[in-house]
């Protein structure tokens, strides 16, 4: 499960990098795009933070299961 989270986090990072490159050609104030972009970027950052925290918890749970299994 942790590997799936790693892949998802990498993909989100790549997508945000592509978005950053794509946004350079768009006028900043066009149709409120900058505000929507900022809101989206904050939401993705929050999601990424929560996913990273969940990955740590999953790794700890897997380690605990491994300890119980070996006993």
| Domain locations in the chain as residue ranges | 1-70
Structure tokens at 68: 């119980």
Taking the C-alpha atoms of residue 20 and residue 50, their distance in angstroms, rounded to an integer, is 22
Using one digit for the tens of pLDDT, what is the confidence trace for 16-56?
899 888 877 777 666 777 788 889 999 999 999 998 888 87
**Helix count (H) and strand count (E) of the chain?**
2, 0
Q: Length of the chain in residues, anyone?
A: 71
The residue ranking higher by pLDDT, 12 or 56, is 12
The residue ranking higher by pLDDT, 24 or 10, is 10
Q: Enumerate residues 6+ apart whose C-beta is below 8 A from 27.
A: 33
What is the C-alpha radius of gyration for the chain, rounded to an integer number of angstroms?
18
């Amino acid at each position: 499960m942790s590997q799936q989270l790693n892949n998802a986090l990498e993909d989100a990072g790549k997508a945000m990098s592509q978005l950053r490159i794509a946004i350079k050609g768009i006028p900043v104030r066009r149709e409120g795009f900058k505000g929507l972009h900022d809101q989206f970027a904050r939401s993705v950052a929050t999601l990424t933070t929560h996913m990273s925290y969940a990955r740590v918890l999953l790794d700890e749970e897997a380690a605990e299961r491994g300890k119980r299994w070996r006993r």
